[in-house]
Structure 1
Amino acid sequence: MSTTARHSPRAPRRPLLREVYGRLLRGLRTRQGRTLAEVSARAGVSLAYLSEIERGLKEPSSEVLEAICIALGSSVTLLVGAAHRDLRGFAALPTESLEEGDEGVVLDLTAARPGDPVDHQWTGRDLAPATHIDTPAPLLAA
């Protein structure tokens, strides 16, 4: 009797967040026709470090991500939103609120699209209520 190993089809591996960020940033940069050298100089990070970020090898700080996004005419908020949408097909993401009383915020933000009116009034943290979602530059190809 022969013993043959059965190979079950594996679900695709959930990418690391740094890999998703890197792919999105590289996609935006290349769609703009910009070089690593140009974006790294504008963001104030080394070319080698930006390349490692784009390849998903380095996990940059929020400050570095912000600098890169600004250099690309985008924002960290749009990057995080695009990453969230990109990861939806994998294991369910938790929607637990980060702060008590903010239960509905996560669901509201995941459904927001550029140009959408804001459906709720923000009542705290001294922030002015927004009237619409701005889009400096889309991270995902249309």
Structure 2
Amino acid sequence: MTQHAPNEARARVIPLRPVRPGAEPPAKEPLWRDLVGDVLRRERLAQERTLQDVADEARISMPYLSEVERGLKEASSEVLAAAAQALGLRLADLLTRVHSEIVRTAPGPGP
């Protein structure tokens, strides 16, 4: 078995899309799970409801809902529908709001 020095192996990696010197790196698009979580949290707070209240009504655990709101978990469509319904939203309403956020926050067209 051959062992490589960690720095030596990294030094030979060539980025797929090198950044020109002095150029800013391309803006990253927001992650779906972050946007979904933001929309759920904003709606919950607008209704002045607790995580526990919404989690109980949605029949999901409060820690899991918290992780979804913070963008730490990719929720299934069933969980998203349950959370949306607990907030008085249809799944379509949730997705429409997330779509609006994507359009608002996405960087301009790529190269």
Same-fold status (TM-score > 0.5): yes
Distance 1:92 1:63 in 2: 32
Q: Which has the larger radius of gyration?
A: 2
Runs of 4+ in 1 over 4 A off after TM superposition: none
Report the CA distance between 1:11 and its aligned residue: 4.7
**Alignment match, 2:69:** 54
Structure with the larger RCO, 1 or 2 (CA within 8 Å, 6+ apart): 2
CA deviations on 1:42-78 (whole Å, 9 max, x unpaired) are: 0000010000000001011111101000100111101
Give structure 2 stretches of 5+ with no counterpart. 1-20
Superposed, 1:83-94 pairs within 5 Å as 83-89=98-104, 90=106
CA deviations on 1:17-48 (whole Å, 9 max, x unpaired) are: 11100000000000110000100000000010
Superposed, 1:38-49 pairs within 5 Å as 38-49=53-64
Please, which of 67, 81, 86 is the counterpart of residue 71 of structure 1? 86
Length, aligned pairs only: 89
Distance change >3 Å, CA 67–CA 22, structure 1 → 2: same
Superposed, 1:1-142 pairs within 5 Å as 7-89=22-104, 90=106
Question: Among the aligned pairs, what percent are the same residue?
Answer: 40
Please provide the CA RMSD for this pair.
Answer: 2.2
Distance change >3 Å, CA 57–CA 7, structure 1 → 2: farther
Distance change >3 Å, CA 81–CA 44, structure 1 → 2: same
- The one-letter amino acid paired with 2:51 is L
TM, length-normalised to structure 2: 0.72
**Alignment match, 2:11:** none
Distance change >3 Å, CA 9–CA 68, structure 1 → 2: same
Distance 2:30 2:42 in 1: 16
